[in-house]
Amino acid sequence: MTQPPFIADHAPHPDFNALSDAEFRALARDFVESNYPDIPRFAQHRLRWPEVRPWYAALARAGWIAPTWPQTLGGMGLGAGKHLILIEEFERYGAARVHDIGTVMLGPLLMQYGTQAQQDYYLPRILRGEDIWAQGYSEPGAGSDLAALRTTAVRDGDEWVIDGQKTWITLGADANMAFVLARTDKTVKKQAGISFLLVPMDAPGVTVRPIENLEGHAEFCEIFFDGVRIPAGNIVGEVNQGWTMAKALLGHERVFIGAPRLSANALGRLEASARANGLWDDPAFQDRFARLAMDLADLNDLFETYVQRLRTGAPIGADVGVLKIFQSELYQRISEELMQVAGSLAGVKLAEGGDSRFDAAGTYLAARPTTIFGGSTEVMRNVLARASLNLPK
């Protein structure tokens, strides 16, 4: 296979999908064990860019940064089963999650809707870690009802001028680029007047204000746009077609945030804690652990179904909400069991640098927002009720 020029200096890929699952698992395990840099493992919170950058660079150098992108575009081209194995092996090792909004969300969207020039420019920059992306969708009055957004973009000659505010933007302070939904026509139905824009975070008029989460980490931020000018070509798709892209991207996002990695990680902590506390052989605990482990096995299967749809280009379907609900509620149930096992230490947040496998309080807090971000459980249940079960409004 001819390698595209931007990864010409990387070692050539084998055809991962031609390997047996056992061979690929051994390769993934060896990869993470021999390439993981000297940065925290089993980190409970998202590491900031300066901390996680060496791991991103190691993955990028080897061509392993974009598991599901086609190999022709610099990805690994993994099928669903292999992707799951990769997640499992990285989780087992406790590898940190890299800044992946570019690889998981924007990249696939540009492949579908971007111009050739946008693909040629942005995809390699994502692969090399030169552009770190933030997702600028939510606003103070537009979360579940995203189409109510009020940020505007007005055309002025060869530029768009953006004014407004975004909130809850994950790792926005680490990003040098944001994709932003903005209203470009106020006279039409609210979904019909939205466009999808690519905004450099260092453009004059962009202000970022960090927000601390319950764990005390500045995980997300608010972004203010005050007369921000971007080139007219920084629009993806047609003017006023942003809603179509927003929905396509949310489909990818829901598959990704339904990935079993968080639950798998938490179940590993539960096992470690139970062994350390002498509960591992307790029949009542074993019963509860077995239920959680079996639910995780079901989640793996469900995830594989949706990754397979992504790989084959089949529609993801409104039913993808079930994956996100299942993953986030399972993660919360495991975190609650972890609190039981931690006993009198349940409420104690471990100091930085402590053995995070036993950080019950941190896991519990980290699990709370998963039923909110990427679409709240309540709203997803509404969607499932209408779109999949045909229940009346």
Ligand X SMILES: Cc1cc2nc3c(=O)[nH]c(=O)nc-3n(C[C@H](O)[C@H](O)[C@H](O)COP(=O)(O)OP(=O)(O)OC[C@H]3O[C@@H](n4cnc5c(N)ncnc54)[C@H](O)[C@@H]3O)c2cc1C
Tell which positions 273-332 bind ligand X, by CB under 6 A. Answer: none
- Applying CB under 6 A, which of residues 135, 151, 184, 265 lies at the interface with ligand X? 135
Q: Are 303 and 323 in contact (CB under 8 A)?
A: yes
Q: Which residue is nearest to ligand X (CB)?
A: 143
300 versus 376: smaller Cβ distance to ligand X: 376
Q: Does 379 bind ligand X (CB under 6 A)?
A: yes
- Of the listed pieces 241-249, 266-274, 350-358, 366-374, which binds ligand X according to CB under 6 A? 366-374
Q: Does 196 bind ligand X (CB under 6 A)?
A: no
Phi and psi angles of residue 162, each rounded to the nearest 5 degrees, phi first: -110, 135
Q: Does 137 bind ligand X (CB under 6 A)?
A: yes
Contacts with ligand X by CB under 6 A: the residue count is 19
Q: Are 162 and 199 in contact (CB under 8 A)?
A: yes
Rounded-to-5 percentages of helix, strand, coil across the chain? 55, 15, 30
Selected catalytic residue, list 91, 139, 222, 253: 253
Q: Does 138 bind ligand X (CB under 6 A)?
A: yes
90 versus 137: smaller Cβ distance to ligand X: 137
Q: Does 147 bind ligand X (CB under 6 A)?
A: no
- Applying CB under 6 A, which of residues 69, 220, 225, 285 lies at the interface with ligand X? 220
106 versus 230: smaller Cβ distance to ligand X: 106
253 is catalytic: yes
In the shown chain, the binding pattern of residues 158 to 177 toward ligand X, with x for contact by CB under 6 A and - for none, equals ----------xxx-------
Give the footprint of ligand X on this chain (CB under 6 A).
135-138, 143-144, 168-170, 220, 369, 372-376, 378-379, 382
Active site residues: 253
